[in-house]
Amino acid sequence: MKYQFKTNIESKEFDEFVKNYPSTSFMQTTSWAKVKSSWQHDFVGVYDDDKLVCTAMILKRNLFFGKKLFYVPRGFVIDYKDKKLLTFFIENLKSYAKKNGAIDIKIDPFICFSEDNIQNIKKQKGIEIKRSFTSNTKDIVKCLEDMHFKHGGYKKEVNAYIQPRYTMAISLKDKDGNFYDKEKLRRTFPKNTRNYIGTYQEQRGVEFSYSTDPKDVKDLVSVLHCTEQRQHIALRNENYFKKVMECFPDNAVLFFARINVDEYIKFLKDDMKENEDKKEFCQKQLKEAMEVKKEFGSKPLAGATIVMMPTCKNGIKTASFLYAGTNTKILPSLKITNGLMFYRLCYALDNGCDYCDLGGVDGSLEDHLSTFKSKFNPNVLELVGEYDLVISKFWYTLFNFGMKILKFIRSKR
């Protein structure tokens, strides 16, 4: 056994290794490095003789006076239990960082401290789940600490770190590891969620579709803009999403929800004839539908999302729900977000995914994201968070002090 550390690994070889390594993240691919074009990058790894045995896609950010920050998103791609390999890799990575002026190597591996169903957490219902992400966590954490990685803390706020420390994920398998069929999956949701999925929306003219064409990003952005205005936030622009679609042609998928307003109007008129007690409600909805048609057309876009399908072939295959937007001016009573969520889950199920990662939430589980995502009976994952391998204590301390001052100034604006 003869280890050799190498940098600038050829992209095809690097991606082939990551793709075939169990449970890897799309953030450890060369395609993600292309998306994050404002950062420099490198693809490094260790060979055992001529065989590649571990890798890391490093993003490099220029700081000041020629200093850099190294960031390995959701990495490393390595067997953390192999202490000999891990030690060799970290020692060489540290030397490489020093030569390149890095003051810190930051990582946030997808490793969980805990995972449980939302109903168990909130109501102690005793629902049994398959715990897939907490294997060997204590041993891995100890290995990182032994290698002098410094833990970034246990903050719960969704924006406290580069990647959220808490996330929600829906398992597409039961506790025994068998895939759900679509109806069984639907029935895992609370009654007031599942009742608005399927026939309810089909009868009312709600239509779902997906696309892998980068040209359709403009529709996603138009709906995200509605969310930005409503929540007073700034999301990514059209060029960013086009880049994601172009860099991940086999993995990035857009999903859309549209409403056939004429079909909905017909449904309301028929429903009113058959159910006298619904007349007042249907008349109100008819008026709203006519106003929507006048302002947005006969088939308006009510919701849109982008999903990253798994880039790995082995292990736990997770679909990552990245961004979602809704135009709440378009018939919100139809609850199209419920149907659009289920449509994405079914697509992931059809494509052999084990989990759907719904994205970050606040660790208090009381923010609006948690409230919405909880409707789909997800599991809550508490990740280990960020670790820093400090290369230069002086510059690292100075950098953190400067960041605190900057945050303080921004908070006062």
Tens place of pLDDT per residue across the chain (413 aa) = 689 999 999 999 999 999 999 999 999 999 999 999 999 999 999 999 999 999 999 999 999 889 999 999 998 999 998 999 999 999 999 999 999 999 999 999 999 999 999 999 988 777 889 889 988 899 999 999 999 999 999 999 999 999 999 999 999 999 999 999 999 999 999 999 999 999 999 999 999 999 999 999 999 999 999 988 888 888 899 999 999 999 999 999 999 999 999 999 999 999 998 888 888 999 999 999 999 999 999 999 999 999 999 999 999 999 999 999 999 999 999 999 999 999 999 999 999 999 999 999 999 999 999 999 999 999 999 999 999 999 999 888 888 888 777 665 655 55
Which residues, at least 6 apart from 297, have a Cβ–Cβ distance to it below 8 Å?
261
What pLDDT does residue 233 have?
A: 84
Please tell me whether residues 40 and 15 are part of one structural domain.
yes
Distance CA 35, CA 294 (A): 39
101 and 191 assigned to the same domain: no
Beta-bridge partner residues of 122 = none
* Judgement on whether residues 170 and 222 belong to the same structural domain of the protein: yes
Are residues 330 and 398 located together in one domain of the fold? Answer: no
Q: Is residue 120 part of a domain?
A: no
Same domain flag for 317 and 392: no
Residue 191 lies in a domain: yes
0.75 surpassed by pTM: yes
> Quick check: is 139 in a domain?
no
Residues 398 and 348 in one domain: no
Evaluate whether residue 200 is within a structural domain: yes
Q: Quick one: 378 and 328 in the same domain?
A: yes
Separation CA 289–CA 362 (nearest Å): 36
Q: What is the 3-state secondary structure (H, E, C) of the chain?
A: CCEEEECCCCHHHHHHHHHHCCCCCHHHCHHHHHHCCCCEEEEEEEEECCEEEEEEEEEEEECCCCCEEEEECCCCECCCCCHHHHHHHHHHHHHHHHHCCEEEEEECCCCEEEEEEHHHHHHCCCCCCCCCCCCCHHHHHHHHHHCCCEECCCCCCCCCCCCCCEEEEEECECCCCCECCHHHHHCCCCHHHHCCCCHHHHHCCEEEEEECCHHHHHHHHHHHHHHHHHHCCCCCCHHHHHHHHHHCCCCEEEEEEEECHHHHHHHHHHHHHHCHHHHHHHHHHHHHHHHHHHHHCCCCEEEEEEEECCCCCCCCCEEEEEEEEECCCCCHHHCHHHHHHHHHHHHHHHCCCCEEEEEECCCCCCCHHHHHHHHHCCEEEEECCCEEEECCHHHHHHHHHHHHHHHHHHHCC
Q: Is residue 54 part of a domain?
A: yes
Name, in order, each residue with C-beta under 8 angstroms of 146's C-beta and a sequence gap of 6 or more: none
Looking at the structure, tell me whether residues 16 and 84 fall in a common domain: yes
Q: Do 402 and 372 lie in a common domain?
A: no
**Helices 279-296 and 261-274: crossing angle, nearest 10°?**
170
Output the pLDDT for position 406: 67
| Measured distance CA(33)–CA(243) in Å, rounded | 11
In a domain, 370, yes or no: yes
Residues 223 and 353 in one domain: yes
Domain count within the chain: 2
Domain that holds residue 99: 3-108+386-411
For residue 206, being part of any structural domain is answered with: yes
Q: Is residue 152 part of a domain?
A: no
The domain that holds 42 is classified in CATH as: 3.40.630.30
Co-location of 303 and 259 in the same domain:
yes
Cis ω for the linkage preceding 76 (within 30 of 0): yes
The number of beta carbons lying within 10 Å of the beta carbon of residue 246 is: 14
Residues 378 and 396 in one domain: no
